[in-house]
Amino acid sequence: MNGILVIDKKSSFTSFDVVAIVRGILREKKIGHSGTLDPMATGVLPILVGNAAKAQSLLPDTDKKYDADFRLGMTTDTLDITGRVLSEVQCSFAAEDIEAIIPQFCGDIMQVPPMYSAVQKNGVRLYDLARQGIEIEREARPVSVAELRLVSFDAQSQSGRLVISCSKGTYIRVICDDIGKALGCGCVMTALRRTAACGFTLEDAVTLEQLQTIKDEGRIEDVLRPTDSIFRCFGEITVSEKQAVRFSNGAALSLDRLKRAAGYDDGTLLRVYGEGKFLGLGIIDTTCGELKMKKNFSHGN
């Protein structure tokens, strides 16, 4: 069994919890995920099954999309509603006040990771230090926010919802916290739902309960997407039967004999197909004039 399952994760489950449950449902040992989703968050979590687990280190950095609920007038140690309350103030902002300051958090920005995160500092997870009451300096990291839009706001409760489209590594909690700092009142994230990741949306997703039913009914193939579907943002090339054998055995292919590979920059990754199936990812090496094997998916597909 090889491919991609798109799970609609429940709140309170870690990504590793989901992997363990899917492993039990499918009776498949080789299971991976496409990137951690905080326990309080729900939504799209692509799961890599069987041979597809080899894709984990090669996933393209496509934008992820979220619906994020927030509340003004509060701060916590985790930057979300699950944490220990650090401050509470009364405030009376309007939607226009928020819309006026959120453009400063769009585009290519620098973001400081929160203490309650899996980022490592000197080999130690930041959340391990945070749980000991230790806070250390963190270096800001570049992230990209393609969309940050206020879609609703209730002035009475000072609560609202943002739609955010951003690059890998962006912390939505930090965006909410930064909005609170800019307004001078504090802000916490109260809920988070990932609506898109790795090119998949909630329409593609099933819950763990639905997956169990589908498995019991023998319909896993209805929801198991092919491995190459997670690489749709890469270009593709089809090779001849002989070239497919060479490539599958790890041998490089001459670019001179691959007309459709012409024009690609050095280091470009391509989906390679041959003999009617996805063979793997190839990488363009213009110095050697070759298409080299980056990762072989031909076995078990």
Partnered with residue 243 across adjacent β-strands are none
Question: Which pair of structure tokens corresponds to residue 178?
Answer: 């930064």
Backbone angles phi, psi at 280, to 5 degrees: 160, -170
Select which of 8, 17, 38, 63 is catalytic. Answer: 38
Q: Return the amino acid letter for 109.
A: I
Backbone angles phi, psi at 24, to 5 degrees: -70, -40
**Gap between the Cα atoms of 10 and 202, Å rounded:** 13
Give, in order, the Cα–Cα distances in Å from 6 to each of 49, 51, 101, 168: 11, 16, 35, 18
69 is annotated as an active-site residue: no
**Gap between the Cα atoms of 47 and 5, Å rounded:** 5
* Cβ atoms of 49 and 28 closer than 8 Å: yes
**Gap between the Cα atoms of 285 and 273, Å rounded:** 18
- Residue 242: strand, helix, or coil: helix
- Tallying the residues shown for the chain, one arrives at 301
Q: Which helix (H) or strand (E) is 16 found in, with range? A: helix 15-26
**Gap between the Cα atoms of 215 and 213, Å rounded:** 5
Instruction: Report the catalytic residues.
Output: 38
